[in-house]
Chains A and B, each alone.
Chain A
């Protein structure tokens, strides 16, 4: 386990406390000056906030979860500029939207955090998990609706007695976790995929909100109301992993353990397509959007402890059925092997801009993450690496993030009247936003204020284990050549990080995050012994600054 995955304490408590004091209990604080204050840099989900330039981000750090509302505009050259951020913690710290073991889980539907923007009345919708008896967040507890920063509302969902009667559900409550949302803005209904407990509709059309849960009966081809003492038979009542409203027909599509089903507006239930290759498959995710309409489906099942995934698509009106997504090399030639042959990938999110679908995938454990760009032909590799392997995943290497952080979530949002923004949430490196469909990115994350001319050097974080990255954070007042070196306590130089590297002046930080970090190792790649180390930053104008980092040490090699 790396320290980056560990939980920091104290500051978050004090932030929540101080913020609470500032606004008299509503625990809201704003930062319109730096524009770089997230609830935490560990962001699990991003979602449109409905208005132009507005984006929601859900973060969790240690025991504390919170949301941040970010406001952007686009500068003359197309750069995204953060105008303001405001944040609020969720009210109950025993509830969160980030479930336990979201990185390690082998089931695809459990490895993502489904979100949706559900109009002004509900706002940003997220799942909600409570702690089990072992204090792990793996007990489905309902969903959050975040209308605004003062209204982060917990919506508990009743769990029918069948969930406690069936051993399989009792042993693994995540079988009925919320794994998908769809919002019918006309009928004012929020549909919630509940896995083994079918699908729930949260009706907000009346004066009083009502929740009703249905299970799919494939024998009678009906969505039947789930009674408290109902008996579930997974042979005929398949789990429902995701829901989508078809943007053209308005039908409700259900991704189930037995293919894709649909419910029309008059209540008829049938297979979504007359005959589909996915009819017998465990369809764990469904996404619709783009122009022409693309429907992306993910299949996933377990075999011999391995998770077998597949990515399918129905592009436009012509094809009658789904087909596997083509993976093309840099020349556009279809490849036999794709990313699913390399690792256990699952889809975290899909975003659409015009003809392109951005499919965010993540390998188990979070070791690899990135997004595929699907055009009409498929996913085309953007490069071949030194070993001749096609590189399909966009991410750190293509500038979407400037640190190797796990990409957790992706969304589109209206950046301005005529421009769609693309945003990604990263685990540890904040939020990245693009105004040009992913060609260039602006990164928003918490940064402490630095003094000019190397007046203050901050190692972020300052306690690491070998292999982690402690970012050398510094600020220059003019473009300079910078040398960064690491010294042991007795001032022996153990590492040169960069020598005479060109760095530019910047309003907040001159650090090149891709190079200016220390990984706890010496010049020969050996882990440095546990202790405090001193990082010297020198520029070519005679300025010298010092930072400190602690490594918890590695192994003698």
Chain B
């Protein structure tokens, strides 16, 4: 007889798959693409990217302050991760994280996510190229976790963004402002390691102290108010993750699933399905040979393949566990593939 846990797991799995495969038809009115927060949506960490950007239910995901601050409660060592993504159309991304244990039950971590365009041609109304801008968009996270039991940890992270469009120099006559900082937003999370096989996570992102708890703020692109101010709005996100570990033919295999709900409305809670965008992520990995892992995943309609290799670096008497990761990405809607993503992570015992 199927118990409650398995029922929940099965439901989540179905949601993830359905979300992945049929994200489009649900978005009748609301579009996610036009909303702020794509840095967050694109995630950080090449290891996680290779398996469909799944990472919230995995205690080994890094940077934990981004994926799920509760992960920090499970840290035993000082962990560092550095990732670089070179996507087609001159898009450069990256993630950096450093995190560690504080006391017996707590963890703290910092994460930075970066996305930019390295070759944006500024073209004026006379069809003349004025120069090349390098706009970038970044998110910073400071996460804290408390491990309430051996199985459960709760986390909170404070995040803010800093964007720089890098185009002000091309305009005169107005005092243009092209860099913007968001107010601090709050992310809450829970991670439970049910047993050796199952884990689950719940992350609520982008809450704010403003009205409706919406992460919303004004951006004024001109200091002299000659351009209309605009609004940055980050949708509230409910992210539910699930992890399953097992062995097939003696090889460790992992399955990861995440269901995400983006509330595309400036209200506390919106129940109209037209104001929600549902997507899913799913990923699998297998340690095919000791320390070498192959991964496959799907984030919304995008496909990923990944690989990772663990090794140890000896410096003096100390040994530092390191892992190098690679991911291949195909962005289905746009028909773009990106073969150049590399990540490095390691621990300082």
The reply to whether A550 and B126 contact each other, CB–CB distance below 8 Å, is no
Instruction: Indicate whether A447 sits within 8 Å of B127 (C-beta atoms), given known contacts A490-B38, A531-B38, A531-B137.
Output: yes
Chain A positions within 8 Å of B, measured between CB atoms, are 1, 3-4, 6-11, 15, 38, 40-42, 61-63, 428, 445-448, 458-463, 465, 473, 487-494, 522-524, 526-532, 534, 536, 544, 546, 548, 550, 552-556
Q: State the CA gap A10–B123 with chains docked (Å).
A: 11
Binary CB contact string for chain B from 215 to 242 against chain A (1 if under 8 A, 0 otherwise): 0100101000011101111000000000
Say yes or no: is B124 at the interface (Cβ < 8 Å to chain A): yes
Closest chain-A Cβ to B163's Cβ sits at a distance in Å of 7
Residues from chain B with a CB closer than 8 A to the CB of A532 are 117, 120, 135
Q: State the CA gap A4–B122 with chains docked (Å).
A: 14
A-B residue pair count with CB separations less than 8 angstroms? 183
Say yes or no: is B129 at the interface (Cβ < 8 Å to chain A): yes
Instruction: Indicate whether A61 sits within 8 Å of B221 (C-beta atoms), given known contacts A6-B173, A550-B135.
Output: no
Closest chain-B Cβ to A40's Cβ sits at a distance in Å of 5
Residues from chain B with a CB closer than 8 A to the CB of A15 are 128
Residues from chain A with a CB closer than 8 A to the CB of B121 are 458, 462, 548
Interface residues of B in 297-349 (CB under 8 A from A): 302, 331, 333-336
Closest chain-A Cβ to B133's Cβ sits at a distance in Å of 8
Say yes or no: is B250 at the interface (Cβ < 8 Å to chain A): no
The reply to whether A62 and B172 contact each other, CB–CB distance below 8 Å, is yes
Q: Which residue of A lies closest to B31 (CB)?
A: A522
Q: Which residue, of A41, A491, A493, has the highest number of chain B Cβ atoms within 10 A?
A: A491
Interface residues of B in 266-295 (CB under 8 A from A): 266
The reply to whether B123 and A465 contact each other, CB–CB distance below 8 Å, is no
Instruction: Indicate whether A11 sits within 8 Å of B34 (C-beta atoms), given known contacts A1-B226, A550-B165.
Output: no
The reply to whether A9 and B230 contact each other, CB–CB distance below 8 Å, is no
Q: Which residue of B lies closest to A463 (CB)?
A: B167
Closest chain-A Cβ to B47's Cβ sits at a distance in Å of 19
Instruction: Indicate whether A6 sits within 8 Å of B123 (C-beta atoms), given known contacts A546-B89, A550-B165.
Output: no
The reply to whether B120 and A544 contact each other, CB–CB distance below 8 Å, is no
Closest chain-A Cβ to B26's Cβ sits at a distance in Å of 13
Closest chain-A Cβ to B41's Cβ sits at a distance in Å of 5
Instruction: Indicate whether A553 sits within 8 Å of B130 (C-beta atoms), given known contacts A8-B170, A529-B36.
Output: no
Instruction: Indicate whether A534 sits within 8 Å of B232 (C-beta atoms), given known contacts A1-B226, A11-B128.
Output: no
The reply to whether A489 and B335 contact each other, CB–CB distance below 8 Å, is no
Q: How many B residues are at the interface, by size bracket?
A: 35 or more
Q: State the CA gap A10–B133 with chains docked (Å).
A: 13
The reply to whether B219 and A530 contact each other, CB–CB distance below 8 Å, is yes
Residues from chain A with a CB closer than 8 A to the CB of B247 are none
Q: Which residue of B lies closest to A430 (CB)?
A: B126
The reply to whether A556 and B125 contact each other, CB–CB distance below 8 Å, is no
The reply to whether B125 and A487 contact each other, CB–CB distance below 8 Å, is no
The reply to whether B127 and A446 contact each other, CB–CB distance below 8 Å, is yes
Residues from chain B with a CB closer than 8 A to the CB of A473 are 127
The reply to whether B165 and A41 contact each other, CB–CB distance below 8 Å, is no
Q: State the CA gap A446–B126 with chains docked (Å).
A: 6
The contact of A7 among B123, B127, B172, B230, by CB within 8 Å, is: B172
Closest chain-B Cβ to A529's Cβ sits at a distance in Å of 5
Residues from chain B with a CB closer than 8 A to the CB of A3 are 227
Closest chain-B Cβ to A141's Cβ sits at a distance in Å of 20
Instruction: Indicate whether A7 sits within 8 Å of B33 (C-beta atoms), given known contacts A530-B230, A553-B219.
Output: no
A-B pairs with beta carbons under 8 Å apart, 6 shown: A462-B120, A465-B227, A550-B165, A555-B231, A556-B216, A556-B231
Closest chain-A Cβ to B296's Cβ sits at a distance in Å of 19
